[in-house]
Amino acid sequence: MYLESLHLKNFRNYDALDVTFNQGVNVLLGENAQGKTNLLEAIYVLALTRSHRTANDRDLINWQADAALISGRVHKQNTTTPLELTFSKKGKKARVNHLEQARLSAYIGNLNVILFAPEDLELVKGSPSVRRHFIDQEFGQMSPKYLYNAGQYRTILRQRNNYLRQLQRKQAKDLVYLGVLSDQLAAFGAELVAARINFLAQLEQWAKDVHQVISQEREELAFSYVNQVKATAETTVDEIYQSYQEQFERQQHKEIEQGTTLIGPHRDDLHFLVNGKNVQTFGSQGQQRTTALSVKLAEIDLMKAITGEYPVLLLDDVLSELDDARQTHLLRSIQDKVQTFLTTTSLSGIARKLINDPTVFDITSGKLAPESSANESDAAE
């Protein structure tokens, strides 16, 4: 799939923008603080309805305005689909083919994106919540069912935590109601865990191959999904559900005492093992970088395998951070098949030979200068 065009109105520092993109590589070139990341963010938001940089949608609206608009045309399987998002004080509205979608989960999945950013290392080095967020976000894009189950799980978890707090403070005492919430949480939790294990097994296969190539056959990458019910690929959804039920019963006293849900996929983690050792604890910086890159690159192939289409790739200032071997691998694996947007302050340091006919957009203060072809920029260098 690729994004044919984008229209912005009062988004961050863009008053108004209308742009048509290259199906291959689009380079967003500019000095610091001109709007390169903002443009990448607009594409990310158009895909997922929320930003990777802020939890507050208000931040996306231009400081001088009350509402913002992002719209774009996505091309896949010979059809073009218009997508539109509006943000205002009243909240956000999402439209597909000009029709408003009642649920955001019906909107997500029309445009699939994978973002590479310097913070990706956090996937390996950060807390378990970073990895859970990664899993939910990426798998949610590929599977509407996963997205729905994850949303339901979050809602019931919130209700159950509220109720456990009431029980803790003795403002409530109905344990039958707690049982109802536990049952629902166990059911959605079991679906999530089974789906995560299934997705991760597929992602692991792709990531293993990539990691092997980047590490020049020296390292073997493996995943381990750490969960409280010891579920594996062989465990059924029903068995996971039963295990959660048993644990809820066993830990009821403790959960009421602490006023929070102690069991469930919101407590799980994903370990990355390089040559059998957890790379978070024992890996070098280089091994951690290679792991993060392998996992993200593997996603490209997993999305293609599951949805039938390559996602759009967003590279936020990452090429200059990669050494030659990693940069070459990244550029080779996307060459001629994945629409890519990359931000950079300078074209030097980018292996231009590996990028075919990119379009270079010069960005200054939220405006795009008329695009230049790669050859013109070559001459200018």
| Binding-site annotation: residue ranges for ATP | 30-37
Q: Is 50 in the site for ligand ATP (CB under 6 A)?
A: no
Sites for ligand ATP among residues 298-357 (CB under 6 A):
343, 345
In the bound state with ligand ATP, the residue whose beta carbon lies nearer, of 33 and 305, is 33
Q: Is 242 in the site for ligand ATP (CB under 6 A)?
A: no
Q: Which of 24, 30, 189, 264 binds ligand ATP (CB under 6 A)?
A: 30
Q: Which stretch binds ligand ATP (CB under 6 A): 36-44, 162-170, 187-195, 328-336?
A: 36-44
**AA identity, residue 260:** T
Beta bridge partners, 15, equal none
Q: Is 63 in the site for ligand ATP (CB under 6 A)?
A: yes
In the bound state with ligand ATP, the residue whose beta carbon lies nearer, of 90 and 230, is 90
In the bound state with ligand ATP, the residue whose beta carbon lies nearer, of 54 and 278, is 54
Nearest to 287 by CA among 231, 326, 329: 326
Total chain residues near ligand ATP (CB under 6 A): 16
In the bound state with ligand ATP, the residue whose beta carbon lies nearer, of 20 and 54, is 54
Residues 6+ apart with CB under 8 A from 362: 29, 30, 368, 369, 371, 372
Beta bridge partners, 99, equal 96
Q: Is 112 in the site for ligand ATP (CB under 6 A)?
A: no
Pairing of strands 312-316, 340-344: parallel
Q: Which of 22, 27, 29, 35 binds ligand ATP (CB under 6 A)?
A: 35
CB 195 within 8 A of CB 268: no
- DSSP E strand stretches across 139-283: 221-226, 269-274, 277-278
- Closest approach of ligand ATP to the CB of residue 25, in Å: 18
In the bound state with ligand ATP, the residue whose beta carbon lies nearer, of 34 and 359, is 34
Q: Which of 7, 8, 12, 342 binds ligand ATP (CB under 6 A)?
A: 12
| CA 43/CA 239 separation, integer angstroms | 40
CB 283 within 8 A of CB 124: yes
CB 290 within 8 A of CB 219: yes
CB 221 within 8 A of CB 288: no
Q: Which of 17, 21, 24, 36 binds ligand ATP (CB under 6 A)?
A: 36
Can you read off the two tokens belonging to residue 84?
Answer: 């539109």
Provide the 3-class DSSP secondary structure of residue 294.
Answer: helix
Chain residues that interact with ligand ATP, rule: CB under 6 A? 12-13, 30, 32-38, 59, 61-63, 343, 345
